[in-house]
Amino acid sequence: MILEKIAARTRSRVDECKQKKSLEEVKKEAQAKDKHEAFLFEKALRGKDISFICEVKKASPSKGIIAEDFPYLDIAKDYEKAGATAISVLTEPEFFLGKDQYLHEIAATVNIPVLRKDFTVDEYQIYEAATLGAGAVLLICALLSVEQLTRFRQIADGLGLSCLVEAHDKTEIEKALTAGARIIGVNNRDLRDFSVDINNSIKLRREVPADVIFISESGIKTAEDVAQLRKNNVQAVLIGETFMRSADKVRELTKLYGPAAIPRTKICGISRVDDVAIINEVQPDYIGLIFAPSKRQVTPSKAHAIKEILSPAIETVGVFVNEVEAAIINAAHSLALDVIQLHGDETEEDIIRIKKETGCAVWKAVRVENSGDIEKWQHSAADMLLFDTFSREAAGGTGDSFDWTLLKGVTRPFLLAGGLSSKNVARAIRKVVPWGVDINSGVETSGVKDSAKIKEIMSIIRRLK
Ligand SMILES: O=C(O)c1ccccc1N[C@@H]1O[C@H](COP(=O)(O)O)[C@@H](O)[C@H]1O
């Protein structure tokens, strides 16, 4: 069978690698590697809704060459922008034309976890995966004994790597569970004859306990396939060929996932008259003018100049941090602000008074450090809450995002802020379902608003429906 052939070739390849770098050396390198947060791969897959693992692969034994032209880094970046939860990278060189270099560069470029998709037959490959920056490795039940699966899983655990343990039938699932698998992937492709049937995942779903992540792999092509898997409590799908053959990954993922609720958009920190042309072109719902001390601060005269040429369809949000009330009222009236965003330590009483005095809607920014911060403001009189990243150094505009799972108990509409960019906005919108997104430093280059980035992020958001 093809699998045994690949495994045999892989053993020889690993032996060759050991001649160049010994097991001890690669082990030391892996253990010395700067450890990011451990097990990010499995943490990322434990979302409310189905997750997508998108695969970067040039060829396969069943399909031959899939991508003649193979800009692997661009493909990975497009997956991230489309909202992939993780990326799978083929590194097997002979049958899949993969390379370690692809994994290494991709893992260094994207901010989502990366799976090393290879035929693990030796612990050497697990240490190697860690040195290449992988967050997870593949262990195939058909190739490994329970003892090997257990040992390899333990080695990966010691390195903070997750193991996707692949099974094809009930016996292999039992084997995976005995080995302590926390993630089981059911391959819908029968490697004896390459036939594909996604019902294999559906049939085997009940064999895997609810606390073990269940991934359906191979042959997923349509929105109906995904809907069926979602209905059967499959937590993630691993899709290669369908995405590899699609020119527009954002649209393809949207087609498979289903349309998202498109949020209101605010582009914050407009501080140059020159930025207004692109704003008028892309028409976000709001712009933010920052009156607080910041590299994005606007003077009253600059604010007037921006307002003068701003499209009347776009509303203006004034952003203030612990500002004296008279100044807020003055700016609200003289600039005809639509919304006042309070981004400091303002109290509930301040919100009520400022609403009354200005006649504007008031948005309260809550800088999230823990779930208590959210709870405190749930019943605020503010017209909208805006959740941003907590920082001791700055009131806002940090460019960092926070743990969005903290928002799962929020019962009222809200805006999401903090480090949103074209890399994470699709994921944020699908995972968090915010009423609005507030985009700021994520559309800047060297501290200045970047027209191409503004255009790109607005285009991604609009392609999610
Ligand atoms: O951007 C600033 O400099 C700023 C200063 C003071 C208060 C708020 C500020 N910006 C707000 O910060 C969030 C998130 O920004 P980022 O995406 O992390 O850069 C956003 O609400 C801005 O309105």
Q: Which residues pair with 196 in a beta bridge?
A: 189
Ligand 1 centroid from CA 157, angstroms = 38
Instruction: Note the pLDDT of residue 47.
Output: 83
Q: Which residue type is seen at 166?
A: E
Instruction: Note the pLDDT of residue 347.
Output: 97
Closest atom of ligand 1 to CA, residue 421: 17
Secondary structure (DSSP) of 60-103: ETTTEES-SS--HHHHHHHHHHHT-SEEEEE--SSSS---HHHH
Instruction: Note the pLDDT of residue 192.
Output: 76
Which protein residue's CA is at the shortest distance from atom 1 of ligand 1? Answer: 397
Within 10 A of 70 (CB to CB), how many other CB atoms are there?
Answer: 17
Determine the Cα–Cα distance for residues 172 and 177; give it in Å rounded to an integer.
9
Structure tokens at 78: 């497009």
Instruction: Note the pLDDT of residue 431.
Output: 94
Q: Which of 268, 316, 337, 363 to mutate to test the pocket of ligand 1 (most atoms within 8 A of CB)?
A: 268
Q: Sign of torsion, CA 268 272 273 276?
A: negative
Which protein residue's CA is at the shortest distance from atom 21 of ligand 1? Answer: 417
Determine the Cα–Cα distance for residues 384 and 363; give it in Å rounded to an integer.
5
Q: Which of 291, 298, 343 to mutate to test the pocket of ligand 1 (most atoms within 8 A of CB)?
A: 343
List, in order of start, the domains of the chain with CATH numbers.
2-257 (3.20.20.70), 264-462 (3.20.20.70)
Q: Contact, 131 vs 160, CB < 8 A?
A: no
Instruction: Note the pLDDT of residue 372.
Output: 92
Instruction: Note the pLDDT of residue 67.
Output: 94
3-state secondary structure of 167: strand
Closest atom of ligand 1 to CA, residue 444: 19
Ligand 1 centroid from CA 355, angstroms = 21
One pLDDT digit (tens) per residue for the chain, 465 residues: 789 999 999 999 999 999 999 999 999 999 998 767 899 999 999 988 999 999 999 999 989 999 999 999 999 999 999 999 999 999 999 999 999 999 999 999 999 999 999 999 999 999 999 999 999 999 999 999 999 999 999 999 999 999 999 999 999 999 999 999 999 999 998 877 888 999 999 999 999 999 999 999 999 999 999 999 999 999 999 999 999 999 999 999 999 999 999 999 999 999 999 999 999 999 999 999 999 999 999 999 999 999 999 999 999 999 999 999 999 999 999 999 999 999 999 999 999 999 999 999 999 999 999 999 999 999 999 999 999 999 999 999 999 999 999 999 899 999 999 999 999 999 999 999 999 999 999 999 999 999 999 999 999 999 999
Q: Contact, 235 vs 50, CB < 8 A?
A: yes
Structure tokens at 334: 């003289």
Complex prediction ipTM: 0.97
Determine the Cα–Cα distance for residues 267 and 228; give it in Å rounded to an integer.
37
Parallel/antiparallel/unpaired status of strands 64-65 and 236-239: unpaired
Instruction: Note the pLDDT of residue 126.
Output: 98
What's the N-to-C CA distance of the chain in angstroms? 43
Closest atom of ligand 1 to CA, residue 296: 3
| pTM across the whole model | 0.95
Q: Contact, 169 vs 150, CB < 8 A?
A: no
Determine the Cα–Cα distance for residues 28 and 38; give it in Å rounded to an integer.
18
Q: Dihedral through CA 415, CA 426, CA 113, CA 3, nearest 10?
A: 150
Burial 81-102 (b: 16+ CB within 10 A, else e): bbbbbbbbbbbbeebbbbbbeb
* pLDDT digit string, tens, across residues 137-196: 999 999 999 999 999 999 999 999 999 999 999 999 999 999 999 999 999 988 778 889
Give residue 448's Cα distance to chain centre: 25
Q: How many CA atoms lie within 13 A of 193 on its CB side?
A: 3
Residues involved in catalysis = 55, 57, 117, 166, 187, 217-218
Ligand 1 centroid from CA 331, angstroms = 19
Residues contacting residue 35 through CB under 8 Å, at least 6 positions apart: 160
Instruction: Note the pLDDT of residue 194.
Output: 82
Angle between helices 425-432 and 451-462 (to 10 degrees): 40
Residues contacting residue 376 through CB under 8 Å, at least 6 positions apart: 366
Ligand 1 centroid from CA 392, angstroms = 14
Q: Contact, 199 vs 177, CB < 8 A?
A: no
Determine the Cα–Cα distance for residues 374 and 416; give it in Å rounded to an integer.
12
Q: Which long-range contacts (CB under 8 A, 24 or more apart) does 99-102 make?
A: 100/128, 100/132, 102/56, 102/72
> C-alpha distances in angstroms, 155 versus 19, 25, 34, 178?
22, 15, 17, 16
Instruction: Note the pLDDT of residue 1.
Output: 79
Instruction: Note the pLDDT of residue 366.
Output: 98
Kindly list the protein residues whose Cβ atom lies closer than 6 A to any atom of ligand 1. 268-269, 288, 290, 292, 294, 296, 319, 321, 343, 386, 388, 395-399, 417-420, 438, 440-442
Q: Contact, 59 vs 96, CB < 8 A?
A: yes
Ligand 1 centroid from CA 397, angstroms = 3
Q: Which long-range contacts (CB under 8 A, 24 or more apart) does 372-381 make?
A: 374/406, 374/407, 374/409, 374/410, 375/409, 378/410, 378/411, 378/412, 380/348, 380/351, 381/348, 381/351, 381/352, 381/355
